[in-house]
Protein backbone atom coordinates (compact mmCIF):
# COMPACT_ATOMS: atom_id res chain seq x y z
CA UNK A 1 0.00 0.00 0.00
CA UNK A 2 1.25 3.49 -0.87
CA UNK A 3 0.52 4.80 2.63
CA UNK A 4 2.99 2.34 4.14
CA UNK A 5 5.86 3.55 1.96
CA UNK A 6 8.30 6.25 3.12
CA UNK A 7 7.34 9.60 1.63
CA UNK A 8 9.78 11.30 -0.76
CA UNK A 9 9.24 14.84 -2.09
CA UNK A 10 10.98 15.61 -5.40
CA UNK A 11 11.26 19.34 -6.11
CA UNK A 12 12.21 19.56 -9.79
CA UNK A 13 10.88 21.75 -12.63
CA UNK A 14 12.06 19.49 -15.51
CA UNK A 15 9.03 17.34 -16.34
CA UNK A 16 11.12 14.66 -18.07
CA UNK A 17 13.36 14.31 -15.01
CA UNK A 18 10.30 14.29 -12.76
CA UNK A 19 8.94 11.24 -14.57
CA UNK A 20 12.34 9.51 -14.59
CA UNK A 21 12.86 10.00 -10.85
CA UNK A 22 9.33 8.92 -9.98
CA UNK A 23 9.80 5.71 -11.98
CA UNK A 24 13.22 5.05 -10.42
CA UNK A 25 11.94 5.40 -6.85
CA UNK A 26 8.91 3.15 -6.95
CA UNK A 27 9.86 1.85 -3.45
CA UNK A 28 8.84 5.25 -2.07
CA UNK A 29 5.62 7.24 -1.99
CA UNK A 30 6.79 9.97 -4.38
CA UNK A 31 5.30 13.48 -4.40
CA UNK A 32 6.30 15.93 -7.16
CA UNK A 33 6.58 19.73 -6.92
CA UNK A 34 7.83 22.08 -9.63
CA UNK A 35 8.24 25.41 -7.83
CA UNK A 36 8.59 27.00 -4.41
CA UNK A 37 4.88 27.43 -3.70
CA UNK A 38 3.92 23.84 -4.58
CA UNK A 39 6.98 22.47 -2.73
CA UNK A 40 6.03 24.22 0.53
CA UNK A 41 2.39 23.18 0.11
CA UNK A 42 3.49 19.55 -0.37
CA UNK A 43 5.77 19.78 2.66
CA UNK A 44 2.85 20.95 4.80
CA UNK A 45 0.34 18.42 3.53
CA UNK A 46 2.52 15.32 2.97
CA UNK A 47 5.26 15.79 5.63
CA UNK A 48 7.94 13.87 3.68
CA UNK A 49 10.93 12.43 5.51
CA UNK A 50 13.31 13.12 2.61
CA UNK A 51 13.35 15.84 -0.08
CA UNK A 52 15.44 16.05 -3.25
CA UNK A 53 15.68 19.72 -4.16
CA UNK A 54 16.85 21.29 -7.41
CA UNK A 55 18.18 24.75 -6.57
CA UNK A 56 17.35 26.08 -10.05
CA UNK A 57 13.59 26.63 -9.85
CA UNK A 58 11.29 29.07 -11.68
CA UNK A 59 11.18 32.01 -11.89
CA UNK A 60 15.00 31.76 -11.44
CA UNK A 61 15.89 28.48 -13.19
CA UNK A 62 19.42 29.66 -13.98
CA UNK A 63 20.17 30.73 -10.38
CA UNK A 64 19.78 29.35 -6.87
CA UNK A 65 17.61 31.98 -5.16
CA UNK A 66 14.34 30.01 -5.28
CA UNK A 67 16.00 26.76 -4.30
CA UNK A 68 17.60 28.23 -1.21
CA UNK A 69 14.29 29.87 -0.29
CA UNK A 70 12.67 26.39 -0.35
CA UNK A 71 15.52 24.93 1.69
CA UNK A 72 15.19 27.66 4.32
CA UNK A 73 11.43 27.13 4.50
CA UNK A 74 11.87 23.37 5.00
CA UNK A 75 14.41 23.91 7.79
CA UNK A 76 12.06 26.34 9.51
CA UNK A 77 8.87 24.28 9.16
CA UNK A 78 10.22 20.72 9.53
CA UNK A 79 13.90 20.80 10.50
CA UNK A 80 14.21 17.00 10.90
CA UNK A 81 13.63 16.57 7.13
CA UNK A 82 16.62 15.26 5.18
CA UNK A 83 17.11 17.55 2.18
CA UNK A 84 19.35 16.43 -0.68
CA UNK A 85 20.22 19.42 -2.85
CA UNK A 86 21.03 19.28 -6.58
CA UNK A 87 22.53 21.99 -8.76
CA UNK A 88 24.64 22.49 -11.84
CA UNK A 89 25.40 26.11 -10.93
CA UNK A 90 28.69 26.70 -9.09
CA UNK A 91 28.52 23.22 -7.59
CA UNK A 92 31.19 23.58 -4.86
CA UNK A 93 30.00 26.98 -3.60
CA UNK A 94 26.37 25.88 -3.70
CA UNK A 95 27.18 22.66 -1.85
CA UNK A 96 28.92 24.48 1.00
CA UNK A 97 26.14 27.04 1.25
CA UNK A 98 23.46 24.35 1.22
CA UNK A 99 25.11 22.43 4.06
CA UNK A 100 25.35 25.66 6.06
CA UNK A 101 21.61 26.16 5.52
CA UNK A 102 20.87 22.69 6.90
CA UNK A 103 20.90 20.37 3.87
CA UNK A 104 21.74 16.71 4.52
CA UNK A 105 23.71 16.09 1.30
CA UNK A 106 24.44 17.45 -2.17
CA UNK A 107 24.78 16.02 -5.67
CA UNK A 108 25.76 17.65 -8.94
CA UNK A 109 23.79 17.50 -12.16
CA UNK A 110 23.47 15.73 -14.51
CA UNK A 111 21.71 13.22 -12.26
CA UNK A 112 23.13 9.73 -11.81
CA UNK A 113 20.00 7.77 -10.79
CA UNK A 114 21.89 4.97 -9.03
CA UNK A 115 24.16 7.32 -7.08
CA UNK A 116 21.26 9.54 -6.06
CA UNK A 117 19.30 6.44 -5.05
CA UNK A 118 22.03 5.45 -2.59
CA UNK A 119 21.98 8.95 -1.05
CA UNK A 120 18.18 8.91 -0.78
CA UNK A 121 18.08 5.48 0.91
CA UNK A 122 20.82 6.49 3.33
CA UNK A 123 18.84 9.64 4.18
CA UNK A 124 15.67 7.63 4.86
CA UNK A 125 17.60 5.24 7.08
CA UNK A 126 19.14 8.09 9.09
CA UNK A 127 15.76 9.82 9.44
CA UNK A 128 14.24 6.59 10.79
CA UNK A 129 17.05 6.10 13.32
CA UNK A 130 16.80 9.70 14.53
CA UNK A 131 13.02 9.42 14.90
CA UNK A 132 13.43 6.24 16.97
CA UNK A 133 16.06 7.94 19.15
CA UNK A 134 13.79 10.93 19.73
CA UNK A 135 10.96 8.62 20.76
CA UNK A 136 13.25 6.74 23.15
CA UNK A 137 14.55 10.01 24.58
CA UNK A 138 11.02 11.29 25.09
CA UNK A 139 10.04 8.10 26.92
CA UNK A 140 13.23 8.27 28.97
CA UNK A 141 12.47 11.89 29.83
CA UNK A 142 9.05 10.94 31.16
CA UNK A 143 10.59 8.06 33.09
CA UNK A 144 13.11 10.44 34.63
CA UNK A 145 10.45 12.75 36.05
CA UNK A 146 9.46 12.34 39.68
CA UNK A 147 6.88 14.29 41.65
CA UNK A 148 5.59 15.54 38.30
CA UNK A 149 8.28 18.21 37.95
CA UNK A 150 11.71 17.00 39.04
CA UNK A 151 14.02 15.38 36.50
CA UNK A 152 16.42 12.76 37.83
CA UNK A 153 17.87 9.34 37.13
CA UNK A 154 19.91 9.18 40.34
CA UNK A 155 18.75 6.60 42.91
CA UNK A 156 19.58 9.06 45.68
CA UNK A 157 17.12 11.61 44.32
CA UNK A 158 14.46 9.04 43.44
CA UNK A 159 14.57 7.92 47.09
CA UNK A 160 13.99 11.53 48.18
CA UNK A 161 11.01 11.82 45.86
CA UNK A 162 9.49 8.57 47.08
CA UNK A 163 9.82 9.73 50.70
CA UNK A 164 8.00 12.95 49.88
CA UNK A 165 5.26 11.05 48.05
CA UNK A 166 4.73 8.82 51.10
CA UNK A 167 4.25 11.74 53.49
CA UNK A 168 2.36 14.01 51.06
CA UNK A 169 -1.14 13.06 52.22
CA UNK A 170 -0.36 13.39 55.89
CA UNK A 171 -0.30 16.65 57.86
CA UNK A 172 3.17 16.19 59.31
CA UNK A 173 5.56 19.10 58.94
CA UNK A 174 8.48 18.39 56.61
CA UNK A 175 11.96 19.89 56.73
CA UNK A 176 14.07 19.80 53.58
CA UNK A 177 17.81 19.99 54.22
CA UNK A 178 20.22 20.70 51.38
CA UNK A 179 22.70 23.15 49.93
CA UNK A 180 21.54 26.22 48.02
CA UNK A 181 20.36 25.44 44.52
CA UNK A 182 19.50 21.75 45.09
CA UNK A 183 15.80 22.20 44.31
CA UNK A 184 14.21 22.53 47.74
CA UNK A 185 11.33 24.73 46.57
CA UNK A 186 10.67 22.43 43.61
CA UNK A 187 10.38 19.49 46.01
CA UNK A 188 8.13 21.50 48.32
CA UNK A 189 5.82 22.28 45.38
CA UNK A 190 5.88 18.62 44.42
CA UNK A 191 4.83 17.68 47.94
CA UNK A 192 1.97 20.19 47.79
CA UNK A 193 0.80 18.95 44.38
CA UNK A 194 0.84 15.33 45.60
CA UNK A 195 -1.16 16.12 48.75
CA UNK A 196 -4.88 16.48 49.38
CA UNK A 197 -4.22 20.21 49.78
CA UNK A 198 -3.32 20.58 46.10
CA UNK A 199 -6.41 22.71 45.41
CA UNK A 200 -5.32 25.21 48.07
CA UNK A 201 -2.62 27.83 47.74
CA UNK A 202 1.10 27.09 47.79
CA UNK A 203 2.65 30.13 49.48
CA UNK A 204 6.44 30.46 49.63
CA UNK A 205 8.53 32.95 51.55
CA UNK A 206 12.32 33.21 51.67
CA UNK A 207 13.05 34.15 55.27
CA UNK A 208 16.63 35.16 54.44
CA UNK A 209 15.61 37.59 51.70
CA UNK A 210 13.38 39.81 53.86
CA UNK A 211 14.79 42.34 56.36
CA UNK A 212 14.33 41.28 59.96
CA UNK A 213 12.09 44.26 60.79
CA UNK A 214 9.68 43.35 57.94
CA UNK A 215 9.61 39.58 58.29
CA UNK A 216 6.99 39.52 61.07
CA UNK A 217 4.59 41.59 58.96
CA UNK A 218 5.23 39.35 55.92
CA UNK A 219 4.40 36.23 57.91
CA UNK A 220 1.58 37.41 60.16
CA UNK A 221 0.16 40.43 58.34
CA UNK A 222 -0.86 43.73 59.91
CA UNK A 223 -3.85 45.93 60.60
CA UNK A 224 -4.27 49.38 59.08
CA UNK A 225 -2.34 51.93 61.12
CA UNK A 226 -0.29 49.33 62.99
CA UNK A 227 2.91 51.19 62.04
CA UNK A 228 4.07 53.99 59.78
CA UNK A 229 3.26 53.05 56.21
CA UNK A 230 0.54 50.52 57.14
CA UNK A 231 -2.13 52.26 55.05
CA UNK A 232 -4.39 49.21 54.83
CA UNK A 233 -5.02 45.86 56.50
CA UNK A 234 -2.84 43.18 54.88
CA UNK A 235 -2.94 39.41 55.20
CA UNK A 236 0.37 37.70 55.94
CA UNK A 237 1.78 34.65 54.17
CA UNK A 238 0.50 32.30 56.89
CA UNK A 239 -3.06 33.52 56.42
CA UNK A 240 -2.76 33.38 52.62
CA UNK A 241 -1.83 29.69 52.91
CA UNK A 242 -5.07 28.76 54.72
CA UNK A 243 -6.22 25.44 53.26
CA UNK A 244 -2.92 24.95 51.45
CA UNK A 245 0.81 24.74 52.10
CA UNK A 246 3.19 27.30 53.61
CA UNK A 247 6.80 26.92 52.48
CA UNK A 248 9.35 28.61 54.75
CA UNK A 249 12.63 28.71 52.83
CA UNK A 250 15.82 29.37 54.81
CA UNK A 251 13.92 28.96 58.06
CA UNK A 252 17.21 29.11 59.98
CA UNK A 253 17.32 32.87 59.32
CA UNK A 254 14.17 33.61 61.35
CA UNK A 255 15.22 35.74 64.36
CA UNK A 256 14.69 34.28 67.83
CA UNK A 257 11.82 36.61 68.90
CA UNK A 258 9.89 35.66 65.76
CA UNK A 259 10.65 31.97 66.33
CA UNK A 260 8.60 32.22 69.55
CA UNK A 261 5.61 33.65 67.69
CA UNK A 262 5.88 31.01 64.95
CA UNK A 263 6.00 28.24 67.57
CA UNK A 264 2.85 29.62 69.20
CA UNK A 265 1.06 29.54 65.83
CA UNK A 266 2.09 25.92 65.20
CA UNK A 267 0.82 24.90 68.64
CA UNK A 268 -2.47 26.83 68.57
CA UNK A 269 -3.11 27.20 64.81
CA UNK A 270 -4.22 30.78 65.30
CA UNK A 271 -2.51 34.05 64.45
CA UNK A 272 -2.87 37.66 65.47
CA UNK A 273 -1.94 40.33 62.93
CA UNK A 274 0.43 43.10 63.99
CA UNK A 275 -1.69 45.82 65.59
CA UNK A 276 -4.71 43.51 65.86
CA UNK A 277 -6.45 41.72 68.72
CA UNK A 278 -8.54 39.18 66.84
CA UNK A 279 -7.44 35.54 66.90
CA UNK A 280 -7.62 34.17 63.34
CA UNK A 281 -7.72 30.40 62.79
CA UNK A 282 -5.49 29.15 59.98
CA UNK A 283 -5.30 25.59 58.64
CA UNK A 284 -2.05 25.22 56.74
CA UNK A 285 0.58 22.56 56.31
CA UNK A 286 4.14 23.77 56.95
CA UNK A 287 7.09 22.71 54.83
CA UNK A 288 10.42 24.38 55.53
CA UNK A 289 13.92 24.27 54.13
CA UNK A 290 17.41 25.37 55.06
CA UNK A 291 21.03 24.84 54.09
CA UNK A 292 22.15 25.55 57.66
CA UNK A 293 22.96 23.04 60.42
CA UNK A 294 20.02 23.75 62.72
CA UNK A 295 21.12 21.21 65.34
CA UNK A 296 24.43 23.07 65.65
CA UNK A 297 22.51 26.37 65.86
CA UNK A 298 20.41 24.88 68.69
CA UNK A 299 23.63 24.15 70.56
CA UNK A 300 24.83 27.74 70.15
CA UNK A 301 21.43 29.25 71.00
CA UNK A 302 20.67 30.43 67.47
CA UNK A 303 17.58 28.27 66.94
CA UNK A 304 14.89 27.06 69.35
CA UNK A 305 14.94 23.31 69.98
CA UNK A 306 11.16 23.12 70.57
CA UNK A 307 10.51 24.87 67.24
CA UNK A 308 12.95 22.57 65.45
CA UNK A 309 11.08 19.45 66.56
CA UNK A 310 7.75 21.00 65.57
CA UNK A 311 9.07 21.79 62.09
CA UNK A 312 11.10 18.62 61.61
CA UNK A 313 8.56 15.84 62.14
CA UNK A 314 9.96 14.40 58.91
CA UNK A 315 13.45 15.40 57.75
CA UNK A 316 14.45 14.90 54.12
CA UNK A 317 18.10 15.37 53.16
CA UNK A 318 18.61 16.46 49.55
CA UNK A 319 21.85 15.39 47.84
CA UNK A 320 23.94 17.95 45.99
CA UNK A 321 24.10 17.77 42.20
CA UNK A 322 27.62 16.32 42.47
CA UNK A 323 26.15 13.43 44.48
CA UNK A 324 23.59 12.63 41.75
CA UNK A 325 25.53 10.79 39.00
CA UNK A 326 24.24 11.54 35.52
CA UNK A 327 21.73 14.17 36.60
CA UNK A 328 23.82 17.15 35.48
CA UNK A 329 23.72 16.00 31.85
CA UNK A 330 20.04 15.05 32.08
CA UNK A 331 19.06 18.41 33.55
CA UNK A 332 21.30 20.35 31.16
CA UNK A 333 19.50 18.84 28.16
CA UNK A 334 16.11 19.72 29.65
CA UNK A 335 17.24 23.30 30.35
CA UNK A 336 18.68 23.63 26.85
CA UNK A 337 15.41 22.58 25.24
CA UNK A 338 13.42 25.01 27.35
CA UNK A 339 15.73 27.98 26.80
CA UNK A 340 16.31 27.32 23.10
CA UNK A 341 12.54 27.18 22.53
CA UNK A 342 12.19 30.50 24.36
CA UNK A 343 15.24 32.44 23.21
CA UNK A 344 17.37 30.85 20.49
CA UNK A 345 15.65 28.13 18.40
CA UNK A 346 18.75 27.55 16.25
CA UNK A 347 20.48 25.85 19.21
CA UNK A 348 19.71 22.13 19.01
CA UNK A 349 22.07 20.42 21.46
CA UNK A 350 25.45 20.12 23.17
CA UNK A 351 28.76 19.42 21.49
CA UNK A 352 30.76 16.47 22.91
CA UNK A 353 33.20 18.81 24.70
CA UNK A 354 30.26 20.50 26.48
CA UNK A 355 28.77 17.20 27.63
CA UNK A 356 32.16 16.08 28.94
CA UNK A 357 32.62 19.37 30.78
CA UNK A 358 29.12 19.20 32.30
CA UNK A 359 29.71 15.66 33.50
CA UNK A 360 33.08 16.53 35.03
CA UNK A 361 32.23 19.87 36.66
CA UNK A 362 31.73 19.80 40.49
CA UNK A 363 28.70 22.17 40.35
CA UNK A 364 29.26 24.01 43.64
CA UNK A 365 26.14 26.08 42.93
CA UNK A 366 24.13 22.92 42.22
CA UNK A 367 21.12 22.93 39.88
CA UNK A 368 20.76 26.71 40.00
CA UNK A 369 24.32 27.16 38.72
CA UNK A 370 23.71 24.61 35.97
CA UNK A 371 20.48 26.31 34.90
CA UNK A 372 22.14 29.75 34.78
CA UNK A 373 25.13 28.49 32.78
CA UNK A 374 22.94 26.71 30.22
CA UNK A 375 20.67 29.74 29.87
CA UNK A 376 23.62 32.04 29.21
CA UNK A 377 25.18 29.54 26.80
CA UNK A 378 21.98 29.23 24.75
CA UNK A 379 21.79 33.00 24.44
CA UNK A 380 25.45 33.41 23.50
CA UNK A 381 25.92 30.33 21.26
CA UNK A 382 26.69 31.26 17.65
CA UNK A 383 26.01 27.87 16.07
CA UNK A 384 23.63 24.98 16.48
CA UNK A 385 25.62 23.34 19.28
CA UNK A 386 26.62 24.64 22.70
CA UNK A 387 30.32 24.13 23.47
CA UNK A 388 32.19 24.01 26.78
CA UNK A 389 33.48 27.51 26.09
CA UNK A 390 29.88 28.80 25.83
CA UNK A 391 29.23 27.34 29.29
CA UNK A 392 32.47 28.86 30.60
CA UNK A 393 33.51 25.36 31.66
CA UNK A 394 37.09 24.59 30.88
CA UNK A 395 39.58 22.06 32.13
CA UNK A 396 41.36 24.02 34.87
CA UNK A 397 44.30 21.57 34.87
CA UNK A 398 44.80 22.27 31.19
CA UNK A 399 44.45 26.01 31.81
CA UNK A 400 47.08 25.95 34.53
CA UNK A 401 49.42 23.77 32.45
CA UNK A 402 49.20 26.29 29.61
CA UNK A 403 49.54 29.31 31.89
CA UNK A 404 52.20 31.83 30.96
CA UNK A 405 53.91 31.63 34.37
CA UNK A 406 53.30 30.92 38.07
CA UNK A 407 51.57 34.27 38.59
CA UNK A 408 49.15 33.52 35.75
CA UNK A 409 48.43 30.05 37.16
CA UNK A 410 47.70 31.53 40.58
CA UNK A 411 45.34 34.09 39.04
CA UNK A 412 43.45 31.32 37.25
CA UNK A 413 43.17 29.38 40.50
CA UNK A 414 41.96 32.51 42.37
CA UNK A 415 39.31 33.15 39.71
CA UNK A 416 38.04 29.59 39.99
CA UNK A 417 37.82 29.66 43.79
CA UNK A 418 36.10 33.06 43.87
CA UNK A 419 33.58 32.03 41.17
CA UNK A 420 32.73 28.86 43.09
CA UNK A 421 32.33 30.76 46.37
CA UNK A 422 30.07 33.33 44.70
CA UNK A 423 27.99 30.50 43.25
CA UNK A 424 27.61 28.85 46.65
CA UNK A 425 26.52 32.08 48.35
CA UNK A 426 24.36 33.20 45.41
CA UNK A 427 26.45 36.35 45.00
CA UNK A 428 26.26 37.49 48.64
CA UNK A 429 29.46 39.50 49.18
CA UNK A 430 29.57 39.20 52.98
CA UNK A 431 29.02 35.42 52.91
CA UNK A 432 31.56 34.99 50.10
CA UNK A 433 34.22 36.96 51.95
CA UNK A 434 33.57 34.94 55.10
CA UNK A 435 33.80 31.67 53.17
CA UNK A 436 37.11 32.74 51.60
CA UNK A 437 38.51 34.00 54.92
CA UNK A 438 39.10 37.53 53.64
CA UNK A 439 37.59 40.96 54.30
CA UNK A 440 34.88 42.50 52.16
CA UNK A 441 37.21 45.27 50.87
CA UNK A 442 39.76 42.61 49.86
CA UNK A 443 37.06 40.67 48.01
CA UNK A 444 35.90 43.81 46.22
CA UNK A 445 39.49 44.48 45.16
CA UNK A 446 39.82 40.92 43.81
CA UNK A 447 36.52 41.17 41.95
CA UNK A 448 37.70 44.38 40.33
CA UNK A 449 41.19 42.98 39.61
CA UNK A 450 39.84 39.84 37.92
CA UNK A 451 36.81 41.58 36.35
CA UNK A 452 34.39 39.13 37.96
CA UNK A 453 30.68 39.90 38.05
CA UNK A 454 28.54 39.28 41.15
CA distance 109 to 91: 9
The highest-level CATH class for domain 150-319 is alpha beta
Task: Using only the alpha carbons of the chain, give its radius of gyration.
Answer: 30
Helices (H), ranges, 25-64: 36-46
CATH for 2-141 is 3.40.50.2300
Q: What is the DSSP letter of 222?
A: B
Question: Cα–chain-centroid distance for residue 132?
Answer: 24
Q: Is the whole model's pTM more than 0.85, yes or no?
A: no
Contacts 24+ apart (CB under 8 A), 368-375: 368/180, 368/181, 368/426, 369/181, 369/423, 370/321, 370/328, 370/331, 370/332, 370/335, 371/331, 371/335, 374/332, 374/335, 374/336, 374/339, 375/335, 375/339, 375/343
- Residue 13, CA atoms < 13 Å, CB-side half-sphere: 15
Say if residues 56 and 88 touch (Cβ distance below 8 Å). yes
pLDDT tens, N- to C-terminus, the chain (454 residues)? 445 788 999 999 888 888 888 888 888 999 999 999 999 999 988 899 999 998 888 898 878 889 899 998 888 888 788 999 987 655 667 777 787 777 888 888 787 888 888 889 988 988 888 777 655 544 444 446 666 678 887 778 888 888 898 899 888 999 999 988 898 999 999 999 999 999 999 999 999 989 888 999 999 998 888 888 888 889 999 999 999 999 999 999 999 999 999 999 999 999 999 998 899 999 999 999 998 999 999 999 999 999 999 999 999 999 999 888 778 888 998 999 999 998 988 898 888 788 888 888 889 999 999 999 999 999 988 888 888 888 988 654 444 554 545 666 677 778 767 866 665 565 778 888 887 888 888 888 888 887 765 5
List CB contacts of 235: < 8 A, sequence separation 6 or more.
221, 273
Within the chain, all domains assigned CATH 3.40.50.2300 are found at: 2-141
Instruction: Give the C-alpha separation, 374 to 378, whole Å.
Output: 6
Q: Evaluate whether the domain defined by 324-450 bears CATH number 3.40.190.10.
A: no
Q: What angle do CA 206, 244, 161 make, to 5 degrees?
A: 75
- Which segments of the chain belong to CATH 1.10.8.60? 324-450
Residue 44 CB partners (closer than 8 Å, separation 6+): 77
What DSSP line would sit under 132-193, residue for residue? HHHHHHHHHHHHTEETTTEE---HHHHHHHHHHHHHTTS---EEEE--TTS-HHHHHHHHHH
Tens of pLDDT, residues 338-389: 999 989 888 988 887 888 888 888 899 999 999 999 999 999 888 888 888 8
Amino acid sequence: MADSKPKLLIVEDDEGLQAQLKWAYEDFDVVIAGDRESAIAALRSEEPSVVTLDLGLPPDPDGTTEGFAVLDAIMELKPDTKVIVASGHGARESALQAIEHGAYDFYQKPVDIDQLGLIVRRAFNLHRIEAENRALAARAGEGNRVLGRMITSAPEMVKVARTIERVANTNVSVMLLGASGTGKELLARGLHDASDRRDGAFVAINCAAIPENLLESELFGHEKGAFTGAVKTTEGKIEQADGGTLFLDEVGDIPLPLQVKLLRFIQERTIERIGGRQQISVDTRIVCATHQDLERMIGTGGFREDLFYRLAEVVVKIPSLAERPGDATLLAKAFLKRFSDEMNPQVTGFAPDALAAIDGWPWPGNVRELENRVKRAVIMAEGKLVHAEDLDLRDDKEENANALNLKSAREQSDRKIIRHALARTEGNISSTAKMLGISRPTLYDLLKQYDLQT
